Structure 1
């Protein structure tokens, strides 16, 4: 039915559409189009290629390793639905040909085997600079363009021919037929002969040679050399050549292969997607958009302005080409024009009401679809709403405003295949988040498109086959009410009850299932997630990130207090870590610190906690046992020195024996970090679902947290033992007086200790599954740790390769920041995360130095403890934590 709580999206989208029991389902599967069989002749009948459809199936299965089989099939159908030369233009820089030739050829071989024929145009700038220097010719540039005289051109021509043939031969070795097209493709005039010499401005492209090569089953490999009408060869920038080639061929994709693998924002995070029509002006006003980044975005906009809206540009590392082309999330930076959105707040704002009806009915099948839409239009004529759509009405979203204490509701979202190709869906959600601070919507639980909605939402809950999503709702009371209404009333609670009753009668006999939502590429590269049952409210995001607060923790599992507030007891609060945890709990909306135990401070009033008056106690193990037996506490935090907390833990165990209550224990010491019956609580590296189910959690050490995060992304690339040089501020030595926290002794000094066999060395080695060497030191500053980690590699890698691995691994992690330069202790002090940077590779390319900093009292102890408490008690992971 088409109701106010339905989220309807047109079939045929880039992201999958679940099967419908109607003829729409046939459209949803995106079959190979009429043009595709001609494209597939190369799989079965080409004499030059013995690859058949069974091989294609195997390749599809292999590609599924970077995405789902559904995604791969869907994109293949899209790409094979255009003429061969219109699939993609790929620009290959000279550095790619020298440093990433194998990855490039492997990616092109995949495309070739599945019947896709990109047009390749390459440069050779770095190689040319090297050859000119060897020949005693000093390279000259004016306004970024190489000045080309006769000597330079002669060297460039020979070099381009050599690089072209090298690429062709490498492809042939991999079974790919490739044809070198080194002359006769680009026609040109002099750009400015007096200023730049033999540099060309492209005036035309010979498409026939390209089309002939492809029709004969060959990948065309072009150089960026052009000719004048009288036969003079001219040098052309490879980016310019690729742009002119794209203008001539109008491909679906223009791909710029890059060592960096994309564009990066001010924080060093890769930008997943840019919608130029909506974002260009705002983007270009940013202070960090300058120099090469600014020029690249400007040039791409100028190119896309001359191409169909179906064309997009991708900046990608050659090793990630398949992931960029065949998955929803992509791997590099996708740039597209998008579409400008229009809006309406009344039916009179639409030029033609019949067009609106047709848009609403196009997702409907069944005898009563027209009647249902008519009643929906009647409702819209009598009630406030806000609609967003593009000019051709390829996309339409309708939002109902807040009503009777309920949040704004996304009532309809419908997008055609054409609308998907112009990438309107992301633009719509960007606008929705700007104009509607809070929004609720519902999708079927078996909808294959759920991942896109998860990316757009802050939380969700499942009931009877429906998933309700929301964003912008932070109040625990509001979320409780929302969940309660949904679990009691389902979809009906989202819309006006009068509308629901009207439309329900009209649609009750309709044969179609509830409309579903299409996916388009989102800004996030997060992985897919399962939908949890309604009894396990905490949804996961990315690698298991908790994205919603559960104001009512799972009572059956953890027996949290009936108020929805977790009762916390802190054993050992005198130290620095205990004080930091108290401060965090004071600002936590759903945790109540009820007991604080400290033998030295017993009887004194706890300072820094404002929710209630708390007096320090000297709790004995017997007291703890009795409190656990009565169910007084939901979470015990053991903030005691190593080797001290066992009697208290045993007391909790004893109390559980005669009670149905089962509290959570988080131990900040090292006592249980090597006990397999305890869960190791490092959420960025340990499955968050495991922590969420745990009742006893060993909080990692401060040194160990930073070291593991600094090494983990490279474990599979280790060529030997990593060596960790760690330096901590003296707060890490605790409050008990010693030379390691004596400021006078530390001034002008640095103290090494536990030169071998430190417990963190064992901890890191155990958790990573790889032996490490760790040498700790203490210095005169108060808080903060710096690690300098030397990591041997099992293969040659570049600094950019390694930084990309870290950026990909920690994408979306709110408490891990990957930076370029080596991070500084003073910049992490008082902050709740970890900074990782440096990534300097030695001249062999087989050793990298990575630096990591962490505040030992926060992410190294109290903040991480709170992450674990949140997860285990059913709250949002970052609740009460100011993220980086």
Structure 2
């Protein structure tokens, strides 16, 4: 595949689009994706031209937008020393040192600092031979006597300097780290003499080298407690180093380029240890070094986060392995054991199944649609594949006709982590094992379209949808499948996003299977025209047939979509108490909203004055009493009442609306008065089911501190340690949070060069956060001299050990589709959130004991902390698109 980085030049962009169009019907990596990489690279001490060259070299190996996103997420989510540990074999230093240096240069120019540890086995054998020393081994381990140790130590230092100088010649700053890192005990001193087993890793010098901008280069020499130099196995030293640093990837560079099946002679591309370890251990050819290597890697990965993996590759494939899912060589990972079910009764938790089906669905009635989908599954055969946490779920409708082999993939839902940890590949391996012929549809703008194309033998696009298939070998079968797709589109597949097509899906799919069965019966006496193993020939024939349907694949109209608003007429709005900062922020949003008509604004202090900032029409402040509100409600003059009043003030107004009998009117309270009233709906859309908010007429808007704290804690709630080890949120707000009434908390003279603590226990937000999250949370508020914006530092005790990137992954998965939440590896800053409508969550530090996480959260207290969130709730309750009228950055 051609380089996806080629959008950097116009001619190559046209060629790239043509190439990808042939393969997956129009998926290209956007210029912004490339620019993001370049921006990151140029911010890490690389000049623009060298950084651009490095970006192109890396992206040249990447095949899809999904892989670019993983790559960007990977190296920005961990500290530099946690990026990768690379073990370099001695043969690599002899034969491929320039290839290695070129790859390391590209990584380094993008701000990446892999930790290098090298051996020198072949060189040592040569030096020992020249010195007249006969190598001795016991169980494959070199016995290292005093003379051998002296030769080895001198050689290792020479090879270390050789690699460092080679890197420097390629423009890479490298630092030799030849002592003080690996500590070891003797390994059976009587047998092996000066051979050690690593028992401790001191990473300070590694971190110092990276902090100074150098790639650290280590040798496989260790030291005992009394200072004796010991020879250690390079693979085992790399493993111990990985245990200490917890990198994303551990790479063993080998001139063989991977592990080969000695029975077939083919490269083993991947080993999923959870499913395949026992199977490999039983293979007759897995003996000696191979057996030991696989066993040692399993022992290593069992102690690392599941996202870690080991790759055995050739040095020329280093970048491809690090930054693509296809990778190179042999990838060894713990993998994921998949479960299967052929009836709803076989699922341990049907509610979990429903939640999984709902998570990718759009629309307020998603739960009802899923219920109807499950009713259909109860009445017909199916087979489901899923992992323990249901991050991945596939549902296949098998062929009901015995003479047909064509099944169709009715559902495939993956979390972001499932894509990035290759659970999706594991699912498809199972599908291909159980279903020799399969068809499925995907939206044409799906970001994983290239991945689906790689799994398929052919495809056809129509009206924003792409039909994929594999295992269909004859022109008649393919032609029939295409014709059905063109005639019936997505009706042939049970897509649960489209309620009206659910029942038609089964009959249309059955019609295809019957047609396929007829074709199969009609050619029972004929030999198969094409073998599934002859992929290029089959693709050529399929391409000819696709050409016949060109008129259907050329779609001048945009893909069909869902209308943003469910109603078009303006809703009449009244704001009671619009004098404060929040009221003003809400008025600014309503001024830009296309379907909301602000009719009344009440403020006793400003009565008679003209409302500023609202340009649709002239509005004069009124001083509305509860009796005025009741009369207006009786006339049904207002669709939505917004109570922007201080705590404890709005009840008379709410009672007046209740007494009017206008039950359909929506009331949104910005104060804390109804946040603990179970008859009101708590309006935090990112954590409360949106259909619940959409069906509510009484909505309590969350507090600003409480919104940020809940969003910052919620993904980790299932992983928190039990009480009394409770989370603590240290919050600092700008003085706009204290309101407009003068007080020390909004007095700039008091706050200048100061930080003011208040309500250190039992703050109303502490009660609110604890109530919503279902456990005690300590909250400590402060106010600072800036005007708007809140910063939380939240300390979270963990029940079990977790790595920082695993914590971050939980947040990325939980908020993956939330438009107003941004997840970052860096700690967010208040100055960057001020005036913005969302929330930023970052930091993701984990204490060295891995039992305490620290998260940072920022929010604009006047916007997402109040007015923006209020508009989200108004949109949902009044039937508009949730983000209508909200500027999305």
TM-score (norm 2): 0.51
Alpha-carbon displacement from aligned partner over 1:82-115 (angstroms, at most 9, x marks no partner): 1211111100011111111111111111111111
**Equivalent pair of 1:440/1:494 in contact (CA under 8 Å):** no
Alignment match, 2:11: none
Number of residue equivalences:
499
Alpha-carbon displacement from aligned partner over 1:201-243 (angstroms, at most 9, x marks no partner): 1111112221222122111111111111111111001011011
Corresponding residue SS for 1:214: helix
Alignment match, 2:822: none
Q: Following TM superposition, where does structure 1 have runs of at least 4 consecutive aligned residues deviating by more than 6 angstroms?
A: 28-33, 496-500, 538-543, 551-557
Alignment match, 1:91: 87
Structure of higher RCO (CA pairs closer than 8 Å, 6+ residues apart): 1
Alignment match, 2:214: 218
Corresponding residue SS for 1:115: coil
* TM superposition shift of 1:445: 4.0
Whole-angstrom CA distance in 2 between matches of 1:223 and 1:54: 33
| 1:610-649 alignment runs, 5 A limit | none
Alpha-carbon displacement from aligned partner over 1:842-877 (angstroms, at most 9, x marks no partner): xxxxxxxxxxxxxxxxxxxxxxxxxxxxxxxxxxxx
Alpha-carbon displacement from aligned partner over 1:456-490 (angstroms, at most 9, x marks no partner): 33444444443322334456655454333223222
Alpha-carbon displacement from aligned partner over 1:390-446 (angstroms, at most 9, x marks no partner): 111111111122246683221111111222343211221122222333322112345
Whole-angstrom CA distance in 1 between matches of 2:117 and 2:496: 60
Whole-angstrom CA distance in 2 between matches of 1:555 and 1:212: 60
- The alpha-carbon distance between structure 1 residues 30 and 83, as it changes in their structure 2 partners (threshold 3 A), is farther
| 1:859-874 alignment runs, 5 A limit | none
* TM superposition shift of 1:497: 12
**Equivalent pair of 1:132/1:139 in contact (CA under 8 Å):** yes
Which of 286, 293, 298 pairs up with 1:296? 293
**Equivalent pair of 1:85/1:118 in contact (CA under 8 Å):** yes
Alignment match, 1:62: 57
Alpha-carbon displacement from aligned partner over 1:523-562 (angstroms, at most 9, x marks no partner): xxxxxxxxxxxxxxx99999955348669969979xxxxx
| 1:83-122 alignment runs, 5 A limit | 83-122=79-118
Alignment match, 1:435: 434
* TM superposition shift of 1:363: 1.8
Alignment match, 1:81: 77
Corresponding residue SS for 2:428: helix
- The alpha-carbon distance between structure 1 residues 466 and 68, as it changes in their structure 2 partners (threshold 3 A), is same
**Equivalent pair of 2:405/2:437 in contact (CA under 8 Å):** no
**Equivalent pair of 1:342/1:389 in contact (CA under 8 Å):** yes
Alignment match, 2:374: 377
Alignment match, 2:648: none
**Equivalent pair of 1:225/1:233 in contact (CA under 8 Å):** yes
Alignment match, 1:860: none
Alignment match, 2:390: 393
* TM superposition shift of 1:244: 0.9
> Which one has a larger percent helix, Structure 1 or Structure 2?
2
2:307 is the alignment partner of 1:315: no
2:356 is the alignment partner of 1:359: yes
Whole-angstrom CA distance in 2 between matches of 1:283 and 1:436: 24
**Equivalent pair of 1:123/1:160 in contact (CA under 8 Å):** yes
| 1:736-775 alignment runs, 5 A limit | none
Whole-angstrom CA distance in 1 between matches of 2:487 and 2:399: 20
**Equivalent pair of 1:454/1:541 in contact (CA under 8 Å):** no
| 1:119-268 alignment runs, 5 A limit | 119-265=115-261, 266-268=263-265
* TM superposition shift of 1:310: 0.3
* TM superposition shift of 1:149: 0.9
Gaps of 5+ in 2: 1-19, 506-529, 550-889
2:275 is the alignment partner of 1:283: no
Corresponding residue SS for 1:89: strand
Alignment match, 2:443: 444
* TM superposition shift of 1:377: 3.1
Alignment match, 2:574: none
Alpha-carbon displacement from aligned partner over 1:731-765 (angstroms, at most 9, x marks no partner): xxxxxxxxxxxxxxxxxxxxxxxxxxxxxxxxxxx
Gaps of 5+ in 1: 1-14, 507-537, 558-884
- The alpha-carbon distance between structure 1 residues 134 and 554, as it changes in their structure 2 partners (threshold 3 A), is closer
**Equivalent pair of 2:274/2:336 in contact (CA under 8 Å):** yes
- The alpha-carbon distance between structure 1 residues 502 and 343, as it changes in their structure 2 partners (threshold 3 A), is same
* TM superposition shift of 1:290: 4.1
Which of 546, 549, 552 pairs up with 2:538? 546
Corresponding residue SS for 2:258: coil
Corresponding residue SS for 1:102: helix
**Equivalent pair of 1:540/1:547 in contact (CA under 8 Å):** no
TM-score (norm 1): 0.51
**Equivalent pair of 2:275/2:335 in contact (CA under 8 Å):** yes
- The alpha-carbon distance between structure 1 residues 158 and 317, as it changes in their structure 2 partners (threshold 3 A), is same
Corresponding residue SS for 2:77: coil
- The alpha-carbon distance between structure 1 residues 481 and 471, as it changes in their structure 2 partners (threshold 3 A), is same
* TM superposition shift of 1:319: 1.6
